[in-house]
C-alpha cells in the first residue's frame, strides 16, 4: 500500500462534515472551514478556476415563511404532482410552486422538472427515496447548501422513524388503510414495507396514492424546518450518520447486516480520523 | 382492504415508466403519455395550476458536444471539486462548469452548489451515490428530464458493473492501488467495498482520492452519453429496475437478501400491472 501523501496534515472528511473552523491543507489544496460544512457555503462564489461560477444563481434564494394555508395548498400540489412526475418532482415542485407565487423570481426561473430522474430511488433503482432528493434540493435553494443539508438530515431522521403517510388529501386517488415506519431513507425498503402492510403491490393505485401523500408529508416537514430556520429557531440536532458511524450509512446497521455487523475498516491511517466528537 | 377506486381504468406506474403513448385516466386525473416517461417531457410547461411554472427555466438547456480536451479539463475540475464540495457537487460542477465556458447561459445562472447535500449517499446516509445524483441533474439539464433519466439509468448500470475508479489525475491528492466493482448504486456499498479492498478507512486520504476520481469517472461517462444523444446515437437499452423487477430495486436481489429473496407482493389488483414487457 502506498503511503498517504498528505504531508502530515490532518484534514478529515469528518472535519469537512462537522467543521472545526480552521484553515487546513490537504494535498496542497487549501480548504477553509468555518463550521459544519462551512466550506460549502462559499461553493460557487469563490471565483476559482475550477469552481463553477454562479452568475445569477447565488444561494440561498429569498425565503418567505409559509402559512398553514400555504402549506395546505403546497400539500395538494405535491400530491397532485406525483401523478405528473413522481416523488422527487412532486416534493420539489410542491415547495417551489408556492414560493413562485409568494416570492416570484428566482424561483420562477428554476427548472423544477430537472429533479424528475430521482423517482423510485433514482431512475427506479430503489436508492434514496425521491421525496428526500427533492426536499434536499428545495431546502438548499431556500436556505443554502449548508443549512439545506442540515434541514434535510433532520427530515431524513424523521422520515425513517415516523409512521407515514400522514397527509389525507381532500381528493384522494385511492383509499388506503395503513401507515408504516420505513426504518430507512431508501425507496426500496420504504415502499415495500408499506406495501407488505397494506397488502398491495407496486404499481397499484394504493401504492401510487401512498407515495403521493408521502411527497406532501416530506414537503410539509421540510417547510416546517425552513420556517424555523427563517425565524432562527432551527437547530441541527442530529449527527450525520457518516459522522456518527464512521461511514456513510443508516443508523440501524443490524437491519441489513443482522447480528453480524462488519467492523468499520480503519487501517491506512484512518484511525485518528474516525472518532466520536 | 378498501377497493381500488380507479373505476376500472388501467393506468400503471409501469406504463408511466415505459410509456405506451396513450391517454389514460386514473382517479379522475388525465395523464397524457407519449412514450417512455413521455408525460415528463412536458412537466413544468403544462401551465396547469398545480404544476410549477418554468419561466426562463425550460429544459433542456442547449448542449454542445465536449471534445477530448474538454473532457480532460472537466475531469480535472470534478476531481478538484470533490475537495470543495464532495461527490454530487464535484460531478455536477465538473459537467456544468465546462458547459458554462462553452455554452454560457443558462448554465451560468444555475446554482450548482444546490446539489451538495447529496454527498455520502445524501447527507451521509449511505443511499444513492452522490456522483449519480449529480450526474442525473447534469444530464437532465443538458438533455431534458426524459433523456436525462434514460442516460442516468445507463450510467447507473455501468457504475454498478465497472471496476472503478478509472481516472488517473495528473495531480493526485493520494496514491491508491485498487479498483472495485460496487454491484450497487449505493454509496454505503460502493465506498465500503472499495475501502475493504484497498485496506483503508473512511476519511482516509485514499478514500477521498478514490471518491474524487469516481466523480470524474461518472462525469465522463455521463458526457459520453450526452455526446451520443447530441448525435442522435444514444439508445436507452437498459430497462429501469423498477420495471424489470416489479419494484424499485437493484437487479442483484440476492446480494442483500441471500437465497431468501422475498416474492414481489402482488395482491390488491397489482397482478395485471406487474408483468414483463
Task: Please give the span between the terminal C-alpha atoms of chain A, in angstroms, as a whole number.
Answer: 29
From the number of C-beta atoms within 10 Å of its C-beta (0-12, 13-18, 19+), residue A177 rates as exposed
Chain B CB within 8 Å of residue A39 CB: yes
Q: CA of A77 to nearest chain B CA: how many angstroms apart? A: 5
Q: What angle do CA B70, B74, B77 make, to 5 degrees?
A: 145
Residue A210, pLDDT > 70, answer: yes
pLDDT greater than 60 at residue A30? no
Q: Residues with Cβ < 8 Å from B263, sequence gap 6 or more?
A: none
Q: What is the pLDDT of residue A213?
A: 98
Mean per-residue pLDDT, A261-275: 55
pLDDT band of A249, cuts 50, 70, 90:
very high
Decide if pLDDT at B8 tops 50.
no
Distance CA B29, CA B19 (A): 17
Residues 40-69 of B with CB under 8 A from A: 40, 43-44, 46, 50-59
Decide if B186 touches A, using CB distance below 8 A.
yes
d(CA A238, CA B4): 39
| B199 contacts A1? CB cut-off 8 A | yes
Residue A248 has pLDDT above 60, yes or no: yes
Under an 8 A CB cutoff, do A116 and B141 touch? no
| Per-position DSSP letters for chain A, written without gaps between them | -PPP-STT----HHHHHH--S-EEEETTEEEE--STTGGGGGTTTS--TTSPP-TT-PSSPP--PPPHHHHHHHHHHHHHHHHHHHHHHHHHHHHHHHHHHHT-TTGGGS-GGGGGGGTTTTTTS--B-HHHHHHHHHHHHHHHHHHHHHHHHHHHHHHHHS-B-----SS-SS-----B--SSSBHHHHHHHHHHHHT--TTSHHHHHHHHHHHHHHHHHHHHHHHHHHTT-----SPPHHHHHSSS--S-THHHHTT-PPPPP-TTTTTTTS---
Residues A14-27 pLDDT 10s: 444 443 333 333 33
pLDDT band at A263 (very low <50, low <70, confident <90, very high): confident
Model confidence at A48: pLDDT above 60: no
Q: What angle do CA B129, B131, B137 make, to 5 degrees?
A: 110
Query: What is d(CA B251, CA B183) in angstroms, rounded to the nearest whole number?
Result: 9
Please list every residue in chain A whose beta carbon sits closer than 8 Å to the beta carbon of residue B32. none
**pLDDT at res. B51:** 36
Which residues 6+ apart lie within 8 Å of B83 measured at CB?
Answer: A26, A27, A29, A31, B173, B208, B212
Average pLDDT of the residues in A237-264: 91
Q: CB of B91 within 8 A of CB of B130?
A: yes
Q: Give yes or no for residue A265 having a pLDDT over 80.
A: no
- Band the pLDDT of B271: cuts 50, 70, 90: very low
By the 10 Å C-beta count (0-12 exposed, 13-18 middle, 19+ buried), B47 is classed as: exposed
Under 8 Å between Cβ of B54 and A111: yes
pLDDT at residue number B266:
60
pLDDT one-digit tens code per residue, B41-90? 333 333 333 333 333 479 999 999 999 999 999 999 999 999 999 999 99
Which has more confidence, B85 or B24? B85
Helix crossing, A205-230 with A130-161: angle to 10°?
80
pLDDT value at residue B57: 78
Q: Output the pLDDT for position A22.
A: 34
What are the pLDDT digits (tens) for A99-128? 999 999 999 999 999 999 999 999 999 999
* Of the candidate ranges A153-162, A262-271, B99-108, B140-149, the one whose mean pLDDT is the lowest: A262-271
Cβ contact, residue pair B52, A93, below 8 Å = yes
Asked whether the beta carbons of residue A271 and residue B201 sit closer than 8 angstroms, the reply is yes
C-alpha cell at A172: 384522494
CB A86 within 8 A of CB B39: no
A40·B205 Cβ contact <8 A? no
Query: A29, B173: Cβ pair inside 8 Å?
Result: yes
Show residues of chain B in contact with A26, CB under 8 Å: 83, 173, 205, 208
pLDDT band at B208 (very low <50, low <70, confident <90, very high): very high
Closest to A44 measured CA to CA, from A26, A35, A56: A56
Identify the closest residue of chain B to A155 by CA–CA distance: B123
A-chain residues within 8 Å CB-CB of B175? 2-3, 5
Task: Indicate the pLDDT class of residue B10, thresholds 50, 70 and 90.
Answer: very low
Query: Residue range B256-269: average pLDDT?
Result: 75
Phi, psi dihedrals of residue B34, rounded to the nearest 5°: -130, 40
Render pLDDT for B215-224 as a digit per residue (tens, 0 to 9): 999 999 999 9
Please give the pLDDT value at position B264.
78
A16 touching B, CB under 8 A?
yes
- CA–CA gap between residue A154 and residue A234 (Å, rounded): 10
Q: Do A111 and B141 count as a contact with CB atoms less than 8 A apart?
A: yes
Average pLDDT over residues B135-142: 98
Chain A partners within 8 Å of B200 (Cβ) = 1, 265, 267-270
Name the more confident of A1 and B102: B102
The complex's ipTM? 0.82
* pLDDT tens per residue across span A143-191: 999 999 999 999 999 999 999 999 999 999 999 999 999 999 999 999 9
Whether residue A46 is predicted with pLDDT greater than 80 in this model: the reply is no
How much is the average pLDDT of A62-77?
98
pLDDT at residue number A264: 78
Interface test with A, best of B114, B180, B257 (most A CBs within 10 A): B114
Residue B263 — pLDDT band, cuts 50, 70, 90?
confident
Question: Residue B60: is the preceding peptide bond cis (ω within 30°)?
Answer: yes
Say whether pLDDT at A28 is over 70.
no
Instruction: Indicate yes or no: CB of A124 within 8 angstroms of CB of B175.
Output: no
pLDDT digits (tens, 9 = 90+) for B245-255: 999 999 999 99
d(CA B45, CA A128): 27
Listed range (A226-230, A240-244, B136-140) with the worst mean pLDDT: A240-244
pLDDT of residue B147: 98
Nearest residue in chain A measured CA to CA from B100:
A52
Query: pLDDT tens digit string along B156-202?
Result: 999 999 999 999 999 999 999 999 999 999 999 999 999 999 999 99
pLDDT at residue B6 greater than cutoff 70 = no
Contact B108 A28 (CB under 8 A): no
Amino acid at each position: 500500500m502506498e503511503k498517504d501523501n498528505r504531508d502530515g496534515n490532518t484534514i478529515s472528511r469528518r472535519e469537512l462534515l462537522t467543521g472545526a473552523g480552521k484553515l487546513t491543507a490537504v494535498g496542497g489544496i487549501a480548504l477553509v472551514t468555518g463550521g459544519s460544512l462551512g466550506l460549502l457555503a462559499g461553493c460557487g462564489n469563490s471565483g476559482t478556476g475550477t469552481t463553477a461560477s454562479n452568475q445569477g444563481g447565488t444561494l440561498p434564494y429569498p425565503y418567505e415563511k409559509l402559512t398553514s394555508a400555504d402549506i395546505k395548498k403546497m400539500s395538494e400540489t405535491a400530491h397532485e404532482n406525483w401523478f405528473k412526475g413522481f416523488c422527487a418532482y412532486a416534493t420539489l415542485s410542491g415547495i417551489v410552486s408556492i414560493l413562485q407565487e409568494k416570492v416570484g423570481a428566482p424561483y420562477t426561473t428554476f427548472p423544477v422538472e430537472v429533479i424528475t430522474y430521482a423517482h423510485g430511488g433514482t431512475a427506479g433503482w430503489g436508492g434514496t427515496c425521491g421525496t428526500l432528493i427533492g426536499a434536499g434540493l428545495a431546502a438548499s435553494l431556500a436556505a443554502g447548501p449548508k443549512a439545506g443539508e442540515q434541514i434535510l438530515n433532520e427530515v431524513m431522521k424523521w422520515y425513517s422513524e415516523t409512521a407515514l403517510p400522514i397527509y389525507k388529501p381532500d381528493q384522494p386517488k385511492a383509499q388506503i388503510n395503513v401507515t408504516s415506519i420505513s426504518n430507512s431513507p431508501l425507496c426500496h425498503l420504504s415502499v415495500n414495507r408499506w406495501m407488505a402492510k397494506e397488502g398491495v403491490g407496486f404499481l397499484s393505485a394504493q401504492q401510487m396514492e401512498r407515495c403521493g401523500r408521502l411527497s406532501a408529508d416530506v414537503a410539509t416537514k421540510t417547510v416546517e424546518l425552513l420556517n424555523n430556520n427563517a425565524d432562527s429557531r432551527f437547530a441541527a440536532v442530529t449527527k450525520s450518520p457518516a459522522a456518527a458511524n464512521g461511514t456513510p450509512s443508516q443508523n440501524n446497521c443490524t437491519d441489513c447486516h443482522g447480528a453480524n455487523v462488519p467492523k468499520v475498516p480503519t487501517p491506512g491511517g484512518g484511525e485518528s480520523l474516525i472518532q466520536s466528537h
